Structure 1
Amino acid sequence: MAEHNFYAVGHGKKPGVYEKWADVQEQAFFQIKDFPQPVYKKFSTKEEAEEYVKARRPERISLEVNEKADKFYAVARGKVVGIFTDYNEVKNHIADYPQPLYKKFEKLDEAKAYYKKYSNGEEDGNPKESKAYNTPADNNEKEQTKKGPVFYAVAHGHKIGVFKTWEECQEATKDFKGAKFKKFDNEEDAKLMKTGYYAVVRGRSTGVYKTWSECERQVKGYRNASSQLASQEQNMWEGVPVVYTDGACFSNGYVGAAAGIGIYWGEQHVDNISEPLLNGPPTNNRAELTAVIRAIQTAIQRKYQQLIVRTDSNLLIQTMNLWIYGWRKNGWKTSNGTSVKNQDLIIQLDSLLENINVRFEHVTGHAGIFGNEKADQLAREGAVRYRQIKSQ
């Protein structure tokens, strides 16, 4: 007896369950090739296929938002979809959702256009049932258009980004160990390839994560986590810019305290910073946070896609790799209901991470680590200048 298959199209202009692969190609597949990362899967039972589609059918909400907002977020795929003005709300809607799709815009019309283009075009998507017809899904590559512009996404290379010529792609990947790149016929697919995702199937919490720090939190120390993640993480961060940050505070917690920040990119580097801490109370923790914020702001201005921040602050590492997820979800309250300290800086830092993938690494302070010692020196010099300014 011939095998009877069902094809579930979770994301496309006509999502639903099909019995013929030809129907998927004819009625849905030729349409979803314009979608970033179309979602579909073959099943042996109709019930499994229907459940697959149902799990990816979000609750739709109104596209009407405050037109005077500074920025707009279009969520085309997530647990809740639509247009939003609060990035924290967006994070809640896309957390643990397979292959989320969203983008930030300055104009509401652009956000609406993106949403309408990349969200499912039909709510119900109940195509006509027909007899099984099995064709390998690998034929998708042949369906891509051969006309129009092409885009080369480089996820790992000397330079990470999306390029419009093969020559630029070659320059970004040639002789780079573990280079990863791919050609696309539309820019949105290319941007998603460049960003990359981490799929956790065995960990504290399964799901799809956009940053290694979020993924690492689920798998680090977890006994049955896949060993492949370690090598993937190592390849991803090869050749990424590294910055050392530090904060210093003389008489921390006392009247007359003086604080400064230090940021070290390299010897005689133009972006090295040594400054007094003049935003808010002069404390060590605020200095540590401010130093990281300034470093990430510089990286974004330099159009870096990834950054490794090394700090000797255990508090900062715990904040960014562990606690911040719960605080954000709880409205910046701790587990006992008190307000998170220095939340103005933490919220600012969290917002910056929308624009760059950052890995936070802990280093031992005053242990002879050159970059850390330099950052410490710069921070102390900044604290000295703080005293000089306040004494005037």
Structure 2
Amino acid sequence: MHRHAMHHVLQKSRAVGVFVTLMGALSAAGAAQAGIEGASAPPSASASAPAASAPVASVPTVPLAKTKEQPERPAGSFWQGAVGKGADSPGWNVWLNVYDPPPKEQDKDKDPVADTLTGEAYDDRPQGRAFWTIEGRNVPERRFVWRERAEALDAAGQSVVREGGTLSGALSADGTTAAGTWSDGGRSQPFTLKRVARYQEATGASGQAKLTERYPVTGDAAIDALIQSLRVRKCDQYDTECVIRISAVGLGDTVSLLRMVWAYSGGAHGNYSFTAGNWRRGAQGFQPIALADVLNPTSACLQSFNTQIVDALKREGAPDAPRGALKERDLRNAAFPFTLQGDRIVVHYGPYEVGPYSSGAFRAAVRFDDLGSACKRPTT
């Protein structure tokens, strides 16, 4: 049962999905750079996590004991880009994670051009969804086709799927950029992508438990130090298995990372939760940011934000959407599971937080422009 639960969280989102056909160079070309060793954060916080003690919290960096030496392997890549941006069109931004198949699955597949890929992507298109999942297979000649699929739950809790547009294109010779055309019916827009990080996956033992940890590596020492600050490197003492996955959501002058921790210690299934880290580059380097740093932390703003959050959860089919409303302390908790994606704030909810375990995880995306003047921070 717990294996099924793990498959659920890694392979199936309750938001939006993309089917991807992609050649192997997209995520496997070259060797990944080694990550910078750093401090690690305590166990992840839920959407109702208590506030940090500081007025504006910083990401926790309490050192944890290291496990035995862990073998690592390249595990995928992170891409950023835009669709349809030009002089006559604002277009939208895209952020795409593509993960390599696990080694056992690679061994089963005799054709290296047909490896199965998984992952997720985000976009900030107007009136669009914030999250996709990715499935697909590689094709030769450095070309790829991505087919979008939107998936959510209806009022009865049943899965509803809507087909979206198609992105087709090709990789550059060195595999670091991609370009092509997005099309949906009679509409078409050009797109470009740049690879900005590679994923490493470490496996080993942590006490009695099996530990798997995946994290991105960018080659930028400052950003890689932030990534390392979210690493856990150990399971809890009663776990028999745990999986920690740090996903890049945005990398640049603003860094947005999401950490998922899944653990099994007995019973019908394991469970998982989310923690995030967000930073903004300034004159003194990267500084941690909480929601109170991007929104006006007043009662009026919190009320407006919660109205948008609950409405977004209802659109995604969350059975208990009102439970997703934030508290004032959440605004000042830098580990609170929110990420910044273009013109949106996205809040991430694990199982049980806005519905039963069988409903899985949910994401509520809110555009800054929809919050009105109550949430605009005063200028200095």
TM over 0.5: no
TM-score category by the smaller chain? under 0.3
Higher strand share: 2
Higher helix share: 1
Q: Tell me which structure has the larger Cα radius of gyration.
A: 1
TM normalised by structure 2 equals 0.24
